[in-house]
Structures are given as structure tokens and as C-alpha cells.
Amino acid sequence: MFRRAIVRAPGPNFAEGLTTVNLGVPDTERALAQHAAYCEALERCGLALTRLPADVRHADATFVEDTAVLTPRGAILTRPGAASRAGEVEAIRGPLAAFYRGFRTIEAPGTLDGGDVCEAEGLMLIGISARTNEAGAGQLAALMEEEGIRCALVDIREVPGILHLKSGVAYLGDGRFVAIDALVRHPALRGCDVVPVDPSEAYASNCVRVNSRLLFAAGYPRLETELRRLGYDLLRLEMSEFQKMDGGLSCLSLRF
């Protein structure tokens, strides 16, 4: 059960952030409206929010998930793979200190983005990507194994169209995942119940289970229909402006 989440509103320079896709320039006002709806959805799921102001020093700072990995034993501050995002980690330290006494950290030469970490009840999938390198993934795996959490590394560097691991896979609870074609038969998911995502709806694989609800990007009817058939209670959210900046539903909050 999640009880809290930390969120940060997109700033006026949101459109200046990093992106690997060519979907046009995001509308910042629309992004603010979509972010507000996202926050409301988290509250509807029962979470108390810590709302951080926009960070005009860092255009990508609304994607707070990349700055930390939160576990029952504490907070691990990451080391983002994009140099322009390094300051975001220090900016999240203070808000997290209200809930966590101490921090462990990913150290150089390791890099790690939180978007490459998929937690699944005793199993943690760690993506090796353009932003998370083998050293960073190995450091996190060692820390998790100290907590009794089994880890599996998933190399996505040759998987087209996804920036982070959670761009292509999400944990729905009860041993079930959703995954894009390139990952649905990955050895790390062997023995798991995996819902395949049609290639035309790959973006929708970044959905987020929050207590009894499932946050889901609007506009992907095939996967939505299948998840509703499986009994999930979906909260549909417009994500167009964040998609333009490589962002998904999981990216916009730290949930704990």
C-alpha cells in the first residue's frame, strides 16, 4: 500500500528538457493541466501529496521518479545518466529527508535513473539503458540484495523506441506484468503472467498500480479493454505533453 507521493510541477522551461522523440513542442499550460489531473488521481488513490514547486534550473525536474529509489529500508539517491539532470538529486534530498533519516547513494562511475527500476514484490528488474549503466545497475542490485530483494538486469540498449525500462514494462501486482513485444519473453519475466502490449500502443505499457487503482494513459483502447477485462479499475489520464518529452505516468511521482 502506498500512502504518500512526492510530485513536482513542470516549470515554464519544461519544453527545453531532454527528449529522444519527435512529437512536437509540448504546450506548457496543457502540461500543467495534465499534471494537476495526475495529482488529483493520486489523491483519489488515497495518497497524501508533497507538492514541490517548479525547479526552473532543471527543465526535466518534473520527472521526479528518476532521482531516487525508495524501499522499505530507506531511500537511495540515484545518479542520473544525463549530466544536465545531476542537480535534481540534491533538490530532492530535502523533501525526502522529511520521511527518511538517511540516504544511500549511487556513486561514480555508476549512473542510474529511477525510470529503469521496476519493483515487483520481492523482485526488482533493473534496466541497463542509455541512462543507467552496468556499474549503476550493479550498485543498486547489491544494495537490494542486502534487503533480501532478488534482482534481474534487463539490457534495453538495443530495444528501439524506449528510453527507460519502465517505458516498456510495468508491474500490475499479483505476479502480473504488462510488457512490449521486445520484452514479453525476456528471461527475467519467465514464469510470470505477462499481458502483451500491441506495438501500436507501446506507450501505454507505462501504467502504474497505485493501491486498488491503475493509472493508465488515455488513448490506447486495446490495452485498456484487456486490463478492464482482467478486473483492473483504471483511471485514464491525458499524457500527451509529457509523452513529447519521453515522460510517462510513473515518471511524475515518487510513491511510498
Angle at 114 between CA 103 and CA 52, to 5 degrees: 70
Q: How far is CA 40 from CA 184, 235, 236, in A?
A: 32, 11, 12
- Respond yes or no: is residue 164 known to be catalytic: yes
Q: How many residues does the chain have?
A: 256
Q: Are 245 and 85 in contact (CB under 8 A)?
A: no
Lookup: cell for 208? 502504474
Start-end of H helices in the chain: 28-44, 86-97, 134-146, 181-184, 221-229, 240-243
Q: Which of 35, 58, 164, 186 is catalytic?
A: 164
Annotated catalytic residues are 164, 251
